[in-house]
Amino acid sequence: MSPAAIILYAVLTGLALAPALVLTFVFNFRRYRRTIRRDVHPMLVREGLRGPDDPWEPSSGVTGDGDGPSETDRRAD
């Protein structure tokens, strides 16, 4: 098989599989958000990892500006 045929095969396979991959996540997106809001956020509040008034959306994980403990870290102590 020539290199051009291999590249063409890889591109066509990617184009054929891309819609299935996209539809998998788009179809379940509302279910994922509902699960986070209903199950995960209350668990984080119970464990003391989030306050009850904190937003339930997932964060980037960055809690401070790098100059020591953040307000969230001080509240947990």
Convert the pLDDT of each residue in 60-74 to its tens digit.
565 555 555 555 555
- Portion of the chain with pLDDT greater than 90, in percent: 21
Q: For 26-45, how does the pLDDT look when each residue is reduced to its tens digit (9 = 90+)?
A: 778 878 888 877 888 888 88
Q: How far apart are CA 74 and CA 27, in angstroms?
A: 39
Q: What is the pLDDT of residue 22?
A: 85
Q: What is the pLDDT of residue 58?
A: 56
Per the prediction, the chain carries an average pLDDT of: 77
Residue 64 CB partners (closer than 8 Å, separation 6+): 70, 71, 72, 73
**pTM listed for this prediction:** 0.38
